[in-house]
């Protein structure tokens, strides 16, 4: 059996004249948590739907869990759990009723036993008779994950699963994901959160349908030799400073991080020359800093350009 859960090459998908995914290739190992990043409209969801058999690629090839990505879509669907961006279960049914309905859709044997076991594993047993519509965002997320896991998939495809939930729920969710990966389940998860990206074993960054970067978080972080300075001060001073820095020679981008600005450039000497006129201004504190994953992804967005 291949050590790869996903191995696809050159996938393309267009909707009318819009080329949404362009020559997309991806390899995800079994038991690996693979982060999938990119801005809205970059082609992440379309790529995920091709991988799980919901969309047929216009061209390309590959296998998912040993099944052909074009000819074996029915088999792929049986072995993959797909969690959509929006909660898609039935709000007027209880947690238990939702899972029993999903089990019937999969034609599962021993449905009641499977539902009971999943309720216990995902921590929903005490809430099993609560209506799904009455759940908070975090508990809805947990229910959606339970529905994905009910048929014991070997691959989870999670499309921005933590959007709109509180920090504690996000932390609990990621502990659950790492527990599943430790059991050999592969996970491809799209996210906008940089702290979540750092929790993944490897990352892929997609923009305008093209895969721009892959690697471990540390490898992606060092794709560019970015120089970064951090400037702090009163919020009104920083708001006034940012537009003065934007576009200056030697400065690639200026990004607000709480009560600081990250000023980033491709060459350290050029960046230091660019910020020199501002270093002695009253009320501003400057210090050399390390580039973050977010700095790298912003740099990728700004330098990749968009095809005509």
Per-residue pLDDT of the chain (308 residues; tens, 9 = 90+): 468 999 999 999 999 999 999 999 999 999 999 999 988 888 899 999 999 989 999 999 999 999 999 999 999 998 999 988 777 789 999 999 999 999 998 888 888 999 999 999 888 999 999 999 998 888 888 899 999 999 999 999 998 888 777 888 888 889 989 999 999 999 999 988 888 899 999 999 988 888 888 999 999 988 888 999 999 999 999 999 999 999 899 999 999 988 899 999 999 999 999 999 999 999 999 999 998 888 888 888 877 754 43
C-alpha to C-alpha distances, 208 to 25, 48, 159, nearest whole angstrom: 14, 15, 17
227-290 and 4-221 share a CATH fold: no
Tell me the backbone φ, ψ of residue 90, rounded to 5 degrees: -95, 115
Return d(Cα 44, Cα 156) in angstroms, integer. 15
CB 137 within 8 A of CB 166: yes
Return d(Cα 82, Cα 147) in angstroms, integer. 9
Supply the pLDDT for residue 305. Answer: 56
Those residues whose C-beta lies under 8 Å from the C-beta of residue 150, and which sit 6 or more positions away, are 99, 102, 103, 106, 108, 114, 115, 118
Supply the pLDDT for residue 307. Answer: 44
Supply the pLDDT for residue 211. Answer: 86
Supply the pLDDT for residue 189. Answer: 93
Supply the pLDDT for residue 155. Answer: 95
Return d(Cα 23, Cα 8) in angstroms, integer. 10
Supply the pLDDT for residue 47. Answer: 92
Return d(Cα 242, Cα 251) in angstroms, integer. 11
Q: What is the CATH number of domain 4-221?
A: 3.40.50.300
H-helix or E-strand spanning residue 156:
strand 155-159
Residue 175 CB coordination number (10 Å): 10
The domain spans of the chain are 4-221, 227-290
Tell me the backbone φ, ψ of residue 161, rounded to 5 degrees: -70, -20
Question: Residues 157, 160, 166, 172: what is their CA dihedral angle, to the nearest 10 degrees?
Answer: 20
Candidates 269, 234, 274; CA nearest to 254 is: 274
* CATH domain 227-290 topology: Alpha-Beta Plaits (3.30.70)
């Amino acid at each position: 059996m291949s050590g790869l859960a996903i191995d696809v090459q050159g996938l393309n998908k267009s909707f009318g004249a819009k080329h949404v995914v362009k020559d997309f290739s991806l390899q995800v190992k079994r038991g690996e948590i693979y982060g999938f990043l990119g801005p809205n409209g970059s082609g992440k969801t379309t790529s995920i739907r091709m991988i799980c058999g919901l969309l047929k690629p216009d061209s390309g090839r590959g296998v998912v869990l040993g099944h052909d990505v074009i000819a074996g879509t029915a088999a792929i669907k049986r072995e993959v759990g797909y969690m959509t961006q929006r909660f898609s279960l039935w709000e007027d049914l209880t947690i238990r009723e939702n899972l029993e309905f999903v089990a019937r859709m999969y034609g599962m044997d021993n449905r009641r036993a499977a539902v009971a076991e999943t309720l216990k594993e995902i921590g929903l047993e005490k809430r099993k008779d609560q209506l799904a519509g009455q759940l908070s965002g975090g508990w809805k997320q947990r229910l959606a994950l339970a529905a994905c896991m009910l048929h014991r998939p070997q691959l989870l495809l999670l499309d921005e699963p933590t959007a709109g939930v509180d920090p504690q729920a996000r932390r609990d969710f990621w502990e659950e994901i790492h527990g599943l990966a430790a059991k050999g389940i592969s996970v491809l998860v799209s996210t906008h959160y940089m702290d979540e990206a750092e929790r993944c074993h490897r990352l892929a960054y997609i923009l305008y349908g093209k895969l721009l970067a892959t690697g471990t978080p540390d490898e992606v972080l060092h794709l560019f030799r970015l120089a970064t300075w951090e400037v702090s001060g009163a919020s009104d001073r920083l708001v006034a400073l940012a537009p003065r820095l934007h576009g200056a020679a030697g400065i690639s981008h200026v990004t607000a991080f709480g009560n600081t600005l990250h000023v980033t450039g491709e060459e350290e000497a050029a960046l230091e020359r660019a910020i020199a006129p501002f270093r002695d201004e009253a009320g501003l504190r400057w210090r050399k800093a390390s580039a973050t994953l977010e700095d790298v992804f912003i740099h990728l967005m700004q330098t990749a350009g968009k095809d005509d």
